[in-house]
A = this chain, B = another copy of it.
Amino acid sequence: MEYSCQTYQLKCNECGRTYGNRPLSGCPECLAPLEIHYDFEAIQKQTPITRQSIQNGPHNIWRYAAMLPIPEGFEPDLPVGFTPLIRAKNLGKRIGASNLYVKNDSVCFPTLSFKDRVVSVALANAQKFGFKTVGCSSTGNLANSVAAQAARLGLDACILVPADLEPAKILNTLVYGARLVRIDGNYDHVNRLCTQIADEYAWGFVNVNLRPYYAEGSKTQGYEIAEQLGWRLPDNVVCPMAGGSLIRKIRKAFNELIALGLVEDKPVRFFGAQATGCSPISQSVRQGWDYIEPQRPNTIARSLAIGNPADGPAASKMIRATGGWAEDVSDVEVVSGMQELAESEGIFTETAGGVTTAVTARLYAQGRISPDETTVVCITGNGLKTTDALVGRFDHLDARAVRPRLSDFADYLRELDGVTENELVAAD
């Protein structure tokens, strides 16, 4: 269960030991997390990476394959990623931002979240390692993506989730034929169990023993942001935080683009967003800690409900090093954030996106981000997965049905919100 590769391999963050390529997430010597280390000199010698070579690639994350841990001979099967980067003028007007963008992974292929990026890279390696069964611990989006992509690749899937997960996310896992196990506990319990299972069974857990490969998939969001801005970096990135991995990997992506000479070097500040009901990283940033204090999650933003985030300390340090900041918002603000983004930009995001939108608004209000700076807000999942969060907001869901007659309609409309008289003119 290993393969050799000229251009990348596992390397310990702490002691610097290297481990080739195998399903392993922590250094056996010093227990620190392993990451993928690239030999970009060797890569550039093989086939130089240029803006043009990337643009000649397919319109999905595989255009960046040379910068990802993708085994030789791998044939991309699914057109994952390359989601829209939208100029958010309306939202900008509402919150006082004149140069705001939304990176919209709520329409990522195939399962409508940024997790599709990480899963596709992890499963490319799972296949290479020869795993027949893959799995994950998940707060929902990851479950959906592993189940869907495993089905497509003909792999068995076994997925573990906290028992209180949203019904839409459970259904959207089962439908692909995956085995789903509801665990009586929160994400942190589920994750610990998965670590034990991965040691015991010959299974590839994308976010456990395949984690170093998996995590690299997040870089593609950073590559896309830079390319979609016309090969330049933004001034600020606002990113939701669960395990703390995504925000770090976007920065890693930017740094690689700089090192490869594909974008100009410039400072980028990173801002983290959490829900107050689970805010260990934002607390750490605000307190100036080098560690995080684990929390017991209690928030409707379930996809961010990781109380003991693996990459929390590193994310906290990184954010402060870039001159950024982190904030957390209440569940009421989360729902308002979802509505704010939908009403202004027509983007229906899940609770995590409500968190990010609400935090972004607060960062502008606090003056931490100046109006004219180029700021990218990362929206990572789709609102149809967390409809429960909104149900209470609309009386209208049970509004009375109107008879199909023009006079009844006119009466109802007056009742609803008053139609102005000048609307009542014939159309032509």
List residues of chain A with CB under 8 Å of any chain B CB: 1, 22-24, 59, 78-79, 82-84, 86, 90, 104, 107-112, 133, 147-152, 154, 158, 160, 163, 167-168, 170-172, 174-177, 179-185, 189-190, 192-193, 196-204, 209, 338-339, 342-348, 382-385, 387, 390-391, 394, 396-397, 399-406, 409, 412-413, 416-417, 423-428
Closest chain B residue, CB of each to CB of A149:
B346
Interfacial chain B residues near A343, Cβ < 8 Å: 151, 175-177
Q: Which residues of B contact A86 (CB under 8 A)?
A: 78-79
Which of B172, B182, B399, B406 is A193 in contact with, Cβ under 8 Å? B406
What separation, in Å, do the CA atoms of A177 and B185 have in the docked complex? 37
- Complex contact A402–B181 (CB within 8 A): yes
With A107-B107, A168-B387, A385-B384 known as contacts, the answer to whether A184 contacts B394 (CB < 8 A) is no
Given contacts A170-B396, A176-B343, A199-B427, 17 further A-B contacts (CB under 8 A): A23-B428, A83-B109, A90-B151, A90-B154, A110-B347, A112-B112, A150-B346, A151-B346, A176-B342, A177-B342, A181-B402, A181-B413, A183-B401, A183-B404, A185-B404, A200-B427, A382-B384
A394–B171 touching, CB < 8 Å: yes
Alpha-carbon separation in the docked complex, A107 to B110 (Å): 7
Out of B170, B181, B384, B405, which one reaches A409, CB within 8 Å? B181
The chain B residue with its CB closest to the CB of A148 is B346
CB nearest to A144 among chain B residues: B348
Could you write out 20 A-B pairs with CB less than 8 Å apart? A1-B428, A22-B428, A59-B82, A107-B107, A148-B347, A151-B346, A168-B168, A168-B387, A170-B396, A171-B397, A174-B394, A175-B339, A180-B396, A184-B403, A193-B409, A198-B427, A199-B426, A201-B424, A203-B423, A209-B427
A51 to B84, CA, bound (A): 24
Leading 6 A-B pairs by shortest Cβ distance:
A148-B346, A163-B401, A152-B346, A384-B384, A184-B401, A177-B343
When distances are taken between beta carbons in the complex, the residues of chain B under 8 Å from A22 are: 428
Q: Is the CB of A201 within 8 A of B423?
A: yes
- The answer to whether A426 and B177 have CB atoms under 8 Å apart is no
* Assembled-state Cα–Cα distance A149/B344 (Å): 10
Q: Provided the pairs A24-B428, A148-B346, A427-B199 are in contact, do residues A175 and B404 lie with their beta carbons within 8 angstroms?
A: no
Q: Are A406 and B197 touching (Cβ within 8 A)?
A: yes
Cβ B391 vs Cβ A176 within 8 A? no
In the complex, the chain B residue whose C-beta lies closest to that of A131 is B427
CB distance from A128 to the nearest CB of B (A): 14
Q: Which residues of B contact A344 (CB under 8 A)?
A: 151-152
A70 to B350, CA, bound (A): 33
